[in-house]
């Protein structure tokens, strides 16, 4: 095989053969293909795309560079969820124990935040003692004991993806849908779950800003799951406004506990239940009502066992930021806009996120929202509270929030047309 021939083929919009792909991916992972050569190919794929067969074979080759997990020894069906990332997206925290309480096993391999999007592991690590790094044996042990585990992926899972992801990040090829889809699905398929629900975010705070592009990504990932024997469905959900009333780490854990206790913001509850029903249907448990498990406390019971099984103390006080600053409404009226991206960047600048994978995060940092679009507000009323341990960060966070919200005069003759999470569904589309 000659990598130059492969680059030229894709540059000229020709299909790559199975044989070419099967050679290329392990050769690149082993260092036999130079970074500049794979950079050229990634750009050619970004510009000219790949068809379903190529993407499926590419994904299979990436899976083949590592291990495949096998949960067939469990006494319950497995199902998992993946979100493409957003602001205030704490859904995994109530969702995993909820689905486990309904009778499924949830092996949730999660990641850390980067930039304005939060990371599930960062949120959970604000719980004193909780561990993200588990051996395979420990992961299986937690699953058998509690029905759910949320942990970091091991080094043996699709190692080709780690190398290719880092390359895409520095070569302007992150946006390639075939490469995004194969990156996500190679790990999820290698994880070994029987069913998978994809939460593809759309809007200002999401990676995909455009509904048509998000739908294309969702369709590609669903086809990859189907081609590899995983029952897969995708929900396209709104991310123009942050989820819930918090964006951070410990503050999102608190909000998740409200949901598990039968309360919490309406939009977080809505999405948690929608994803739970899809996960249970994929696992063959669609006769179970997840809303009952939230109401009767069984989901909270699983949460407590899950946290304890990973070394955490579910009764310990969560970290609180040392400094707070309140931003108030300049006028009375109806809040008609609260931009997810700007809130996410503010939380990041306050210390809740990181610019590089090795950067630390502050457990207590973030943004608490006191109103959402559609709510009536009064002049002087708190709109946002900024939390950080380092008050010198307030100025940069406030700069990120410049123009992030809009308040329009209330007209008693006209009902408000503002989209609010309490009366408008987050669900934009379903792809199966």
The catalytic site residues sit at: 82, 161, 168, 183, 187
Residue 360 CA to residue 369 CA, distance in Å, equals: 24
Helix (H) or strand (E) holding 400: helix 394-400
- The answer to whether the Cα torsion of 158, 153, 203, 362 is positive or negative is negative
| CB 371 within 8 Å of CB 385 | no
Q: How many CA atoms lie within 13 A of 111 on its CB side?
A: 20
Length reported for the chain: 432
Helix (H) or strand (E) holding 107: strand 106-110
For residue 21, count other CB atoms closer than 10 A to its CB. Answer: 22
Residue 273 CA to residue 269 CA, distance in Å, equals: 6
The alpha carbon of 308 is separated from its chain's Cα centroid by a whole number of angstroms, namely 23
DSSP-derived 3-state class of residue 334: strand
DSSP-derived secondary structure letter, 117: B
Question: Distances in Å between the alpha carbon of 64 and those of 27, 47, 94, 106, 158?
Answer: 12, 26, 33, 23, 7
Question: Distances in Å between the alpha carbon of 200 and those of 185, 256, 258, 424?
Answer: 13, 20, 24, 18
Nearest by Cα to 165 from 181, 147, 152:
181
Nearest by Cα to 66 from 17, 31, 26, 111:
26
| CB 384 within 8 Å of CB 370 | yes
| CB 90 within 8 Å of CB 256 | yes
Buried b (16+ CB within 10 A) or exposed e, 220-241: bbbbbbebbebbbbbbbbbbbb
């Amino acid at each position: 095989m000659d990598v130059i021939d492969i680059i030229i083929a894709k540059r000229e919009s020709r299909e790559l053969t199975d044989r070419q792909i099967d050679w290329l991916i392990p050769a690149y992972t082993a260092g036999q293909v130079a970074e500049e050569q794979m950079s050229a190919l990634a750009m050619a794929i970004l510009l000219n795309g790949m068809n379903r067969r190529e993407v499926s074979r590419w994904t299979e080759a990436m899976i083949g560079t590592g291990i495949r997990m096998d949960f067939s020894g469990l006494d319950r069906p497995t199902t998992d969820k993946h979100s493409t990332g957003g602001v205030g997206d704490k859904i995994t925290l109530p969702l995993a124990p909820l689905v486990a309480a309904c009778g499924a096993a949830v092996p949730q391999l999660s990641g850390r935040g980067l930039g304005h999007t939060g990371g599930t592991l960062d949120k959970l690590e604000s719980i004193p003692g909780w561990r993200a790094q588990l051996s395979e044996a420990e992961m299986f042990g937690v699953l058998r004991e509690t029905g759910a585990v949320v942990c970091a992926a091991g080094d043996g899972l699709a190692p080709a993806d780690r190398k290719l992801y880092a390359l895409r990040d520095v070569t302007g090829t992150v946006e390639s849908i075939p490469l995004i889809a194969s990156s996500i699905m190679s790990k999820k398929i290698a994880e070994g779950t029987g069913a998978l629900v994809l939460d593809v975010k759309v809007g200002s705070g999401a990676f995909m800003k455009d509904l048509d592009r998000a739908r294309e990504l969702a369709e590609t990932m669903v086809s990859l799951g189907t081609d590899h024997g995983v029952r897969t469905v995708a929900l396209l959900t709104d991310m123009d406004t942050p989820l819930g009333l918090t964006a951070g780490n410990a503050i999102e854990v608190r909000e998740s506990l409200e949901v598990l206790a039968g309360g919490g913001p309406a939009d977080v509850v809505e999405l948690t239940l929608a994803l739970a029903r899809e996960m249970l249907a994929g696992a063959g448990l669609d006769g179970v009502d997840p809303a009952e498990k939230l109401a009767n406390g069984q989901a909270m019971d699983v949460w407590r066992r899950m946290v304890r099984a990973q070394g955490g103390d579910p009764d310990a006080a969560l970290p609180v930021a040392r400094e707070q600053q309140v931003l108030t409404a300049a006028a009375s009226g109806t809040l008609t806009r609260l931009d997810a991206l700007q809130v996410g960047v503010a939380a990041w600048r306050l210390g809740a996120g990181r610019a590089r994978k090795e950067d630390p995060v502050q457990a207590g940092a973030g943004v608490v929202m006191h109103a959402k679009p559609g709510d009536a507000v009064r002049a002087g009323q708190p709109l946002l509270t900024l939390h950080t341990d380092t008050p010198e960060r307030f100025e940069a966070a406030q700069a990120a929030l410049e123009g992030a919200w809009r308040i329009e005069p209330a007209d008693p003759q006209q009902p408000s047309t503002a989209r609010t999470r309490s009366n408008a569904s987050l669900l934009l589309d379903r792809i199966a």
